[in-house]
Amino acid sequence: MSSFKAKLSRLPSMGGGMSRGGAPGEARGDKETAEEAAGPLRVVTREPEGAAAGAARRWAGIDEAPIEEGTGVPAGGAAGGAVEAAAMTLVTPVGAEEAAARVTSVAPVTPVAPVMPVAPVAPERPSLDELRERIARIVGRGMPATPRADPTREELPFFLEQTEEGPLYTNRVRSLPAARVGRAPLVAARDAEGAMLALLALDPALAGCDVRRALYLDTETTGLAGGTGTVPFLIGLAWFDEEVSGEGGSGFVVEQFLLRRLGEEGPMLRRLRERLEKASMIVTYNGKAFDMPLLRTRFVMNRLPPPPEVPHLDLVHMARRIHKGRLKTRTLIALEHEVLGRVRVGDTPGGEIVQAYAHFLRSGDEGALLGVVEHNAADVLAMVALVGLYGEPLGSLIGEDLAGVAATLRRAGALERAAELAEAAVAQGGGAAALRARGDIARARGDRARALKDYEALAAEVDDAGVRLALAKLYEHHVRSFAKALEMVEQGTAETDPAQERRKARLQKKMERAAGAVATRAASVAGAEGGGSRRGGRRRQVP
C-alpha cells in the first residue's frame, strides 16, 4: 500500500481533472489527491487494449507477466504481490489512450469487514407436540394401544362408600367358622394360645393379648422399595366377628380397601385407623420391616396423625425359626403350599402385581386387578391359618417343624415345654433336627447324660463341627475322657483356630497329667501290695 501511495503522490497535476466518482469538477493538486487516497483503497483495473495496457502495468510497477486466463490477475511474481498489496479501487478510463497514462479517479472506500467462516445452520428443533407424536408413532409400532375398558362393566367386587374425606372402595366378605385353608381350619386361630405365640415370637408383649381380637393385615403396593414414592393401593384385613356365627362358634370377616385413583388415600387410611384402634394386636407377614413402616409414611404424607401402636406379631420371623430345618424358602406362598397343603390357582403372582395395577390405572381395566384382589385375600387367610397352627403346634405340625418349635422355646427359656415338644419331635421322626433340639434342651436343663446320648447319635448321622464341639466339652468336663475330647477337637470344632489350638493343648496336658497320676497310683498300689506280702510272709514265719 505504501508503494502505491508513493507513486500516487508523484502523479502530475490533472488539469481540468475529474471529481470523485469520475464526474467533472474542480481540479485538485497532487498533495490533496494523495491525502484523500491515504485511507484504505481498492483499485480494480479494467485491462486496456494493446499499448495502453502495457503502460498501465508499467505505471503501477508491474512487470510484464502472463495473465491467468479468465481472471485479469498476473500469475504470481512481483505482479501478484503488487496487486494484492495495493488493494486497488476502481479506475475508470476516460478513453483508451488516457487510461493508459493516468489514473482518472482515486477514492477511499468503505472498509469491508473480514469474511468470517459461515457456521452450519442448525436444523429447526421440533416442538414438544411433534416430539410426542413421534414417540407415539414409535411406541405404537412396538406395542398395541391399551384398549379402554367398558366403564359400564363392573368386575371388581368393591362397592363405593362416600365418606366425608372422599370416596372409599370396600370389599367385605363374611365366612363361617368351618372355612379352611388347605388342611388347616381357620377357627383354630381364634382359640390359639397367646402365651405360646409370645414365646415363639420371642416377644413377651404379646403374652397378654387377646388373640380373638387380632387384626390380620396385608398390603399390595406400587413397588417394593418403600419410602415416599411407594403407595399401598390395596389393603387387606381380617378379624373374627361374633356376629358371624355358625356351627363351631364365630366366623371371621375379610375386608379390602382399593385405591382406584392415586391421591385418594385419606378415606382408606382413616378407616384403617378405626380398625387398628379396636384390635388387641396386629398380625402380618414381614410387616415389621415393610407394611407398617410404609403405612406410617403414608399417614405422614397425607397429613394424618400416626396410627396407634399395638403389639405386633410378625409371622415371618417365627416361620424362619420353625421351618428352617426343612424349607429352603419361607415365603408365605411356600408355607401355604408346604405347611398348610394348599396350592393357589388363579391369583396374580407377586412379581406381576405392580404391572397389573399400572395397567389398571392406564386403561381402567378392572379385570387386570381380579387376580391381585384374590392374591391379597389369600395372603390374609394364610396368616390366619398359620396362627392356628403355631398357637397349638403339638397336634398340627410334623416332627421337623416341632423340632424348630422346641428349639425356639429353649431360646425363650420355656425348657419344660421345650423338652415335651422335643420328645414328640423325635417320636415323630424329626431326624437330626429333633436330636439336636433334644440334646440342646437336655444340656440346658443340666441333663448331661441325655445330652451326651443325643449328641453321639447326631454325630453318627451328620458331619457337624458344632456337634463335635459339644461332645468335646461333655467328654472333657462330664465324662473326663480327655482322649475322646481330643479326638473330637482334632476332627474340627466350631471354634476359631486359636481357640481350638488352646483347647487341644489343654487336653494334651490333662492327658499327660492323667497318665502320670495313673502311673503313680499304679506304683503306689504295687508298692502297697508288695509290702503287704512281705509282712505277711514274715508273720507266717513266726511260730
Write the pLDDT tens digit of every residue in 462-475: 999 999 999 999 99
Whether residue 441 is found in the same domain as residue 468: no
108 contacts 39 by C-beta, under 8 angstroms: yes
Q: Kindly state whether residue 407 falls inside one of the protein's structural domains.
A: yes
Residue 410's pLDDT is 97
Q: Kindly state whether residue 174 falls inside one of the protein's structural domains.
A: yes
With a cut of 80, say whether residue 438 has pLDDT above it.
yes
DSSP characters over 218-246: EEEES-SS-STT--EEEEEEEEEEEEEEE
Whether residue 227 is found in the same domain as residue 330: yes
Domain containing residue 450: 398-462
Amino acid at 274: E
Q: Kindly state whether residue 65 falls inside one of the protein's structural domains.
A: yes
pLDDT category at 504 given cuts 50, 70, 90 is very high
Whether residue 37 is found in the same domain as residue 180: no
Q: Kindly state whether residue 471 falls inside one of the protein's structural domains.
A: yes
Whether residue 282 is found in the same domain as residue 362: yes
With a cut of 70, say whether residue 95 has pLDDT above it.
no
With a cut of 60, say whether residue 16 has pLDDT above it.
no
Least confident of 27-41, 133-147, 304-318: 27-41
Q: Kindly state whether residue 451 falls inside one of the protein's structural domains.
A: yes
- Look over the chain and give the mean of its residue pLDDT values, rounded to a whole number: 79
Residue 97's pLDDT is 52
Please identify, among 462, 488, 508, the residue that sits at the C-terminal boundary of a domain. Answer: 462
Whether residue 357 is found in the same domain as residue 476: no
Q: Kindly state whether residue 132 falls inside one of the protein's structural domains.
A: no
Whether residue 263 is found in the same domain as residue 238: yes
User: Between 224 and 399, whose confidence is greater?
Assistant: 399
Q: Kindly state whether residue 229 falls inside one of the protein's structural domains.
A: yes
218/251 Cα distance (integer angstroms): 19
pLDDT category at 14 given cuts 50, 70, 90 is very low
Q: Is 464 exposed, middle or buried (0-12, 13-18, 19+ CB in 10 A)?
A: middle
Whether residue 259 is found in the same domain as residue 362: yes
Q: Kindly state whether residue 127 falls inside one of the protein's structural domains.
A: no
With a cut of 50, say whether residue 188 has pLDDT above it.
yes
Place of cell 381380579: 370
Whether residue 357 is found in the same domain as residue 431: no
Q: How far is CA 187 from CA 247, 323, 485, in A?
A: 11, 23, 52
Please identify, among 101, 121, 144, the residue that sits at the C-terminal boundary of a domain. Answer: 101
233 contacts 259 by C-beta, under 8 angstroms: yes
Q: What number is the average pLDDT over the span 34-49?
A: 45
36 contacts 105 by C-beta, under 8 angstroms: no
Residue 113's pLDDT is 58
Q: List, in sequence order, the alpha helices (H) in 28-127.
A: 30-36, 51-59, 77-86, 96-101
User: Between 525 and 34, whose confidence is greater?
Assistant: 525
With a cut of 80, say whether residue 528 has pLDDT above it.
no
Whether residue 356 is found in the same domain as residue 240: yes
Residue 153's pLDDT is 47
Write the pLDDT tens digit of every residue in 266-315: 999 999 999 999 999 999 999 999 999 999 999 999 999 999 999 999 99
Domain tally for the chain?
4
pLDDT category at 15 given cuts 50, 70, 90 is very low
Residue 537's pLDDT is 52
Whether residue 488 is found in the same domain as residue 349: no
Beta bridge partners of 167: 162
Q: Kindly report the pTM of this predicted structure.
A: 0.67
User: Between 82 and 206, whose confidence is greater?
Assistant: 206
Q: Is 232 exposed, middle or buried (0-12, 13-18, 19+ CB in 10 A)?
A: buried
Please identify, among 462, 479, 511, the residue that sits at the C-terminal boundary of a domain. Answer: 462
DSSP element (H, E) containing 488: helix 482-491
Whether residue 352 is found in the same domain as residue 249: yes
- CATH code at position 337: 3.30.420.10
Secondary structure of 270-281 in the HEC alphabet? HHHHHHHHHCCE
Whether residue 363 is found in the same domain as residue 389: yes
pLDDT category at 194 given cuts 50, 70, 90 is very high
